């Protein structure tokens, strides 16, 4: 009977007479004796696993490492156990150092969540991070070039960015159930804040806010959500019950409210459906419709007085901006706010409240729209500075 299986994520590599196993996505390397090369590359072993007798031929110390790293899997190991990891990017955001999540403490961590639930399959929402990172690398749009240009213009630099890192993208298999994806995302956000980090998560669509927020709330019970969006994302069918509601991109705020979280929505310009109107009467929901830049900034001042000393999580949907300034979104709406006003509002929130984490969603970036991609990276720089200024 085959009691041990091999991870599908590792493959054998031979370089300069040395043999090692390399993870397909994290690129982690485990050196193994050359004589074991055939053991891990044999198609039969990959398909049917290893016999107990074969396991005994592997040195004990190495075997312990292989089992600990989930390369050799014991019977009963679940898919979740081996699929919860960050994919190492080819290039990092803004030229920041790449760090493994296990080594990130007291930093500002950037990471991607390439997930969409309910959005058009033709959108690029699950490719945003790759597009943005590659654009920044191609056009030298990185932290160092920002610093150099600031020095030339004789500007005061906000920080040296030594405490900022890119930890990659959450691994999402498009064939896995949403419950599993949400559990992984939630566990990661909890782990990040448990290690005294703040974070910026880049989606993906708005469904990712639900697991990210809940992961942080497992540490901070008084966590409040500030929701900046053109849509109220309260989609709720009249035939739907609470436990039926899936926190998709259009229902994520409804799900948070039905779980009795405090939510402040601002910048709104549209309802997603009529059935959701009764949710606006929930006591812990504060919402504001905005038809001008001035109204948006007034809303920011108003919610700051209500939230006071509680911990804050911000979710930013890029369609809050007017399409004439930024059009790379899935559901654009006219009469939005300007980029300068968005920046001013965010800076005010960061200066007055304790922001633990922030996600940026619904940025439907395209390789041929360089202006929007450039602005998106500028936005990341500004948000990093807001964390530092606090």
Same domain flag for 206 and 347: yes
The reply to whether 194 and 260 lie within a common domain is yes
Domain residues for 347? 86-389
pLDDT given for residue 15 in this prediction:
87
Query: Is there a single domain that holds both residue 40 and residue 146?
Result: no
- Measured CA to CA in angstroms, residue 288 lies from 68, 275, 283, 285, 302 at distances of 50, 19, 14, 10, 10
Identify the pLDDT of residue 238. 56
Q: Is the domain of 56 the same as that of 188?
A: no
| In a shared domain, residues 176 and 247 | yes
- Among 14, 48, 77, residue at a domain's last position: 77
Give the CATH number for residue 262. Answer: 3.40.800.10
Task: Report residue 230 as tokens.
Answer: 């053109």
Q: What is the pLDDT of residue 140?
A: 87
Asked whether residue 226 falls in the same domain as residue 342, the answer is yes
What pLDDT, in 10s, does the model give residues 127-178? 999 999 999 999 988 887 776 666 555 555 556 678 999 999 999 998 899 9
Co-location of 143 and 234 in the same domain: yes
Q: pLDDT below 70 — which residues of the chain?
A: 1-2, 119-122, 147-160, 237-245, 275, 390
Strand-pair category, 354-361 with 198-203: parallel
Examine the fold and report which residue of 77, 102, 119 is the final residue of a domain before the chain moves on.
77
pLDDT tens for each residue of 332-390: 999 999 999 999 999 999 999 999 999 999 999 988 889 999 999 999 999 999 998 76
Does 132 share its domain with 71? no
How many folded domains does the chain comprise? Answer: 2
| 149 and 230 inside one domain | yes
- The set of residues, in sequence order, having a beta carbon less than 8 Å from that of 237 and lying 6+ positions away, is 273, 275
Distances (CA, A) of 44 to 14, 56, 66, 356: 20, 18, 19, 48
pLDDT of residue 152: 55
Q: What's this model's pTM, rounded to 2 decimal places?
A: 0.91
Residue 302, φ and ψ in degrees, nearest 5: -70, -45
Q: Tokens for 37?
A: 């090369």
Q: Pairing between strand 29-32 and 86-87? A: unpaired
- The pLDDT value recorded for residue 237 is 65
pLDDT of residue 278: 74
153 and 198 belong to one structural domain = yes
Domain boundary among 77, 103, 121: 77
């Amino acid at each position: 009977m085959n009691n041990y299986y091999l991870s599908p994520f590792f493959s054998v590599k031979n370089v300069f007479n040395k043999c090692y196993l390399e993870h397909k996505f994290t690129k982690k390397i485990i050196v193994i004796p050359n004589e074991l090369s055939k053991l891990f590359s044999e198609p039969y072993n990959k398909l049917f696993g290893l016999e107990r007798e074969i396991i005994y031929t592997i040195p004990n110390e190495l075997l312990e490492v292989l089992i600990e790293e989930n390369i050799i899997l014991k019977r009963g190991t679940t898919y979740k156990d081996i699929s919860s990891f960050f994919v190492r990017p080819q290039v990092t955001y803004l030229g920041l150092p790449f760090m493994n999540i296990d080594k990130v403490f007291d930093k500002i961590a950037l990471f991607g969540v390439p997930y969409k639930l309910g959005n058009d399959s033709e959108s690029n929402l699950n490719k945003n991070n790759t597009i943005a990172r590659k654009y920044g690398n191609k056009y030298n749009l990185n932290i160092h070039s920002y610093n150099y240009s600031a020095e030339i213009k004789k500007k005061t630099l906000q920080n040296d960015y030594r405490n900022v890192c890119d930890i990659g993208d959450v691994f999402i298999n498009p064939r896995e159930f949403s419950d599993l994806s949400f559990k992984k995302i939630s566990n990661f956000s909890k782990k990040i804040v448990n290690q005294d980090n703040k974070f910026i998560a880049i989606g993906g669509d708005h469904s990712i806010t639900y697991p990210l927020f809940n992961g942080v709330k497992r540490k901070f019970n008084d966590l409040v959500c500030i929701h900046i969006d053109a849509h109220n994302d309260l989609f709720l069918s009249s035939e739907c019950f609470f436990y039926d509601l899936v926190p998709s991109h259009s229902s994520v705020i409804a799900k948070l409210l039905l779980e009795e979280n405090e939510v402040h929505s601002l910048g709104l310009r549209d309802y997603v459906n009529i059935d959701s109107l009764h949710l606006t009467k929930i006591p812990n929901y504060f919402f504001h419709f905005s038809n001008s830049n001035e109204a948006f900034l007034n809303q920011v001042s108003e919610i700051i007085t209500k939230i006071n000393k509680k911990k804050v999580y911000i979710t930013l949907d890029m369609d809050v901006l007017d399409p004439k300034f930024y059009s790379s979104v899935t559901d654009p709406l006219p009469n939005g706010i300007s980029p300068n006003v968005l920046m001013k509002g965010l800076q005010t929130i960061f200066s007055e409240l304790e922001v633990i984490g922030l996600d940026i969603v619904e940025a439907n970036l395209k390789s041929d729209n360089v202006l929007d991609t450039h602005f998106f990276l500028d936005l990341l720089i500004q948000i990093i500075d807001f964390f530092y200024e606090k």
